């Protein structure tokens, strides 16, 4: 029988690379560790397993370490912190009340979506989103797919889809040659990344790859039939079954905000030991800056070690972290969004998909807060996770405010939440 | 060959490989997931449980995030209510 009120030395939220590394290192130091994730399988988004099971060797290694060290892995989504030291999470059929001394946030990132005419049509899907669907059983054999947006994820996704039989009509990257050349230079200092890049290049051979290129409209009756792209200033139409589209990544900082961590330039602030500004709260991986798997694993290990006061051991990882952070900074520079993308949304384009709020309605308001109150933008079930980053880019609005529950939760969970808030420590 | 199981989408039976998510079953059945407040059909967007675009009724429980739920034998999936 599962104890719904487990007590841990360390609770790690997020079962991707950073969270797995943090949980394993902390538990290997002898701490009682709980790891919670919304997904039933470990690995997070980047190591998401397919129907065939988990195949990534690094993920399997961390999974073994987690099991060997006795980490308790829980499936549920954290939606509230009724008091410091307690988190509430909703599992499939019950509520967890997780008690902790130290908390590691490893909540990862999501894709940034930008509105353009037709982006709400079925089969216009995130780039990582489509990959996740294929891993979840969607066959793409023989399907025509345009992969568009920005960031290194586009290349990985295109290679994955092609391996599964898809015809990649084109990869459209909004970044320019100049930006990408600068990125190539930064790669020279990252031998591992060059090897990965070369492997990808082989897997992508023959696929048209366009820079200065982005989708301007998607069209179809009932579902996607074709996409119009802008390529080096000219407009072209491509027939396709799927448009896999994401504009790089944005960090999941909602839980960090809820527990009172300071955010700077959109990322959770941490010191050299991955400690946030909130007492006993650490953060590792993408929420501290979009940097990829290797950086996430290093930061996670540092956080895990420091929860057991193993600072000297953690310091041995600092040099490698610095090098990887250089790569992260290069990512930010390279895949920074060009201003032309702000022109993509037409007045009638829906920006908030939950509440169908159109761009023309939003532009009548001067802030996220005002727009929320007047138009219900960001008030739907995604709670602004999609339209928040979009309005941040389009209108410069700051959507960094959260209130519990962080996700739509069941009524009985919320009822238990209010009683948990009154529990003695 | 992977093992298959049968679910219904809006009353029509469809066989899917074990491990398939409900969102994928809905796509395989040629259906959209939900209808937006202004009447547009919507399908999955993020694929990871964040956007809520793939909501559907599963075994009479409304508003389930279908991309986060794996099909089980005999599951009744509805996108038309």
The confidence band for A52, taking pLDDT boundaries of 50, 70 and 90, is confident
pLDDT averaged over every residue in chain B: 95
pLDDT of residue B1: 46
pLDDT of residue A1: 37
* Tokens of residue A28, six digits: 């290997």
The dihedral of CA A308, A417, A267, A341: what is its sign?
positive
**Is A394 buried (19+), middle (13-18) or exposed (0-12) by CB count in 10 A?**
buried
pLDDT of residue A202: 83
pLDDT of residue A337: 96
**Chain B partners of A380 at a C-beta cutoff of 8 Å?**
52
The dihedral of CA A215, A392, A255, A21: what is its sign?
positive
Q: A125 vs B47: CB contact, 8 Å cut-off?
A: yes
What confidence tens digit (pLDDT) does each residue in A341-351 have? Answer: 999 999 999 99
Question: How many residues are there in chain B?
Answer: 81
Substitution target in B20, B44, B59 with the highest count of A β-carbons within 10 Å is B44
Rounded CA-CA distance A84/A261 in Å is 12
- Over residues A198-203, the mean pLDDT reads 80
Rounded CA-CA distance B10/B12 in Å is 6
Between chain A and chain B, the number of residue pairs with CB atoms below 8 A apart is 108
The confidence band for A191, taking pLDDT boundaries of 50, 70 and 90, is low
The answer to whether A130 contacts chain B (CB < 8 Å) is yes
Q: A138 vs B27: CB contact, 8 Å cut-off?
A: yes
What confidence tens digit (pLDDT) does each residue in A217-244 have? Answer: 999 998 999 999 999 999 999 999 999 9
For A334-406, strand residue ranges (E) read 350-352, 357-358
| pLDDT reading at A425 higher than 70 | no
What confidence tens digit (pLDDT) does each residue in B22-56 have? Answer: 999 999 999 999 999 999 999 999 999 999 999 99
Number of neighbouring beta carbons within 10 Å of residue A242: 26
Coil, helix or strand for A54? coil
Angle between helices A368-375 and A387-395 (to 10 degrees): 120
The ipTM estimated for the assembled molecules is 0.97
The confidence band for A420, taking pLDDT boundaries of 50, 70 and 90, is low
| pLDDT reading at A190 higher than 90 | no
For residues A328 and A49, the answer to whether their CB atoms sit within 8 Å is no
The answer to whether A379 contacts chain B (CB < 8 Å) is no
Q: B44 vs A382: CB contact, 8 Å cut-off?
A: no
Q: B45 vs A353: CB contact, 8 Å cut-off?
A: yes
Per cent of chain B over pLDDT 90 is 95
H/E stretch holding A111: strand A109-111
Coil, helix or strand for B8? strand
| pLDDT reading at A318 higher than 80 | yes
The answer to whether B79 contacts chain A (CB < 8 Å) is no
Q: B55 vs A381: CB contact, 8 Å cut-off?
A: yes
The answer to whether A276 contacts chain B (CB < 8 Å) is no
The answer to whether A222 contacts chain B (CB < 8 Å) is yes
The answer to whether A126 contacts chain B (CB < 8 Å) is yes
- Over residues A122-149, the mean pLDDT reads 98
Rounded CA-CA distance B13/B73 in Å is 11
Residue A279, phi then psi, degrees to nearest 5: -60, 135
Q: Out of B20, B41, B42, name the one closest to residue A136 (CB).
A: B20
The answer to whether A125 contacts chain B (CB < 8 Å) is yes
**Chain B partners of A133 at a C-beta cutoff of 8 Å?**
21, 23-24, 27, 44, 47, 67
What confidence tens digit (pLDDT) does each residue in A389-418 have? Answer: 999 999 999 988 888 889 888 887 887 776
pLDDT averaged over every residue in chain A: 93
| pLDDT reading at A81 higher than 90 | yes
Asked, as a colleague might, if the bond just before A405 is cis with ω within 30 of 0, I would say: yes
For residues A4 and A284, the answer to whether their CB atoms sit within 8 Å is no
**Residue carrying structure tokens 């007045």:** A347
**Chain A partners of B51 at a C-beta cutoff of 8 Å?**
353, 382, 385-386
The answer to whether B68 contacts chain A (CB < 8 Å) is yes
């Amino acid at each position: 029988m599962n104890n719904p009120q487990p007590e841990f030395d360390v609770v790690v939220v997020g079962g991707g690379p950073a969270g797995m590394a943090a949980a394993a290192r902390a538990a290997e130091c002898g701490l009682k560790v709980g790891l919670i994730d919304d997904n039933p399988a470990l690995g997070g988004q980047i190591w998401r397993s397919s129907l065939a099971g988990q195949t990534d060797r690094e993920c399997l290694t961390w999974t073994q370490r987690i099991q060997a060290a006795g980490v308790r892995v829980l499936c549920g989504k954290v939606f509230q912190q009724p008091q410091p030291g307690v988190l509430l999470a909703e599992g499939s059929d019950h509520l967890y009340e997780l008690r902790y001394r130290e908390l590691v946030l490893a909540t990862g990132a999501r894709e940034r979506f930008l509105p353009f005419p037709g982006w709400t049509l079925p089969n216009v899907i995130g780039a990582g989103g489509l990959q996740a669907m294929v891993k979840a059983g969607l066959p793409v054999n023989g399907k025509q797919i345009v992969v568009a947006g920005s960031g290194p994820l586009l290349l990985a996704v295109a290679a994955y889809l092609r391996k599964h039989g898809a015809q990649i009509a084109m990869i459209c990257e909004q970044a320019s040659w100049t930006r990408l050349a600068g990125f190539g230079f930064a790669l020279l200092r990252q031998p591992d990344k060059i090897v990965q890049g070369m492997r990808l290049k082989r897997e992508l051979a023959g696929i048209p790859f366009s820079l200065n290129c982005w989708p301007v409209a998607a069209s179809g009756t009932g579902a996607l039939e074709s996409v119009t792209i802008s390529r080096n200033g000219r407009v072209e139409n491509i027939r396709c079954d799927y448009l896999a589209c994401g504009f790089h990544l944005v960090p999941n900082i909602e839980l960090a905000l809820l527990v009172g961590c300071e955010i700077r330039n959109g990322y959770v602030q941490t010191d050299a030991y991955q400690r946030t500004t909130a007492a006993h709260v650490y953060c590792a991986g993408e929420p501290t800056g979009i940097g990829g798997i290797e950086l996430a694993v290093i930061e996670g290990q540092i956080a895990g070690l420091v929860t057991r006061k193993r600072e000297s051991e953690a310091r041995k990882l600092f040099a490698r972290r610095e090098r990887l952070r250089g790569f992260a900074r290069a990512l930010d520079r390279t895949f920074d969004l060009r201003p032309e993308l702000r022109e993509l949304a037409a007045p009638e384009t829906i920006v908030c998909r939950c509440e169908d709020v159109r761009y023309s309605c939003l532009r009548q308001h001067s802030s996220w807060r005002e727009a929320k109150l007047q138009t219900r933008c960001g008030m739907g079930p995604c709670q602004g996770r999609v339209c928040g980053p979009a309005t941040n880019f389009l209108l410069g609005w700051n959507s960094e405010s959260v209130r519990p529950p962080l996700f739509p939760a069941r009524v009985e969970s919320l009822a238990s939440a209010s009683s948990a808030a009154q529990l003695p420590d | 060959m992977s093992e298959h199981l049968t679910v219904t989408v809006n009353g029509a039976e469809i066989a899917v490989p074990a491990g398939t998510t409900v969102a994928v079953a809905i796509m395989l059945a040629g259906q959209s997931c939900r209808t937006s407040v202004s009447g547009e059909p919507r399908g999955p967007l993020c694929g990871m449980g964040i956007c809520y675009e793939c909501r559907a009724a599963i075994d009479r429980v409304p508003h389930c995030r279908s991309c986060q739920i794996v099909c089980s034998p005999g599951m009744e999936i509805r996108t038309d209510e």
